[in-house]
Amino acid sequence: MRVKVKYFALLRKLAGKREEDVEIDEETRVEELLEKLSERYGERFRDYVYGVGEFRGLTLMFLLNGRNIELMDGFKTRLRDGDTLSILPPVVGG
Partner 1 sequence: MSLMSFQELTQSELERYDRQILIPGWGLEGQKRLKNAKVAVVGVGGLGCPASLYLTAVGVGRIRIIDKEKFELSNLNRQILGYQTDLGRFKVHVAREKLKMLNPGVEVEPIVAEVTRDNVHEVVGDVDVVVDGMDNWRTRLVLNEYCVSHGIPFIHAAVSEMYGQITTIVAGNGPCLKCIFPRTPPEAEKTPVLGATPALLASLQVMEVVKLIIGIGEPLIGRMLFIDGRTMRFEEVRVEKREDCPVCGSKR
Provide the 3-class DSSP secondary structure of residue 24: coil
Amino acid at 67: R
Nearer Cβ to partner 1, position 12 or 78? 12
Four-CA torsion 79, 16, 91, 69, nearest 10 degrees:
10
Closest approach of Cβ 69 to partner 1, in Å?
10
> Which residues in this chain contact partner 1 in the complex, by CB under 8 A?
6, 8-9, 12, 18, 57, 59, 61, 63, 65-68, 70-71, 84, 86, 88-94
Nearer Cβ to partner 1, position 8 or 50? 8
Contact 3, 22 (CB under 8 A): yes
Closest approach of Cβ 10 to partner 1, in Å?
9
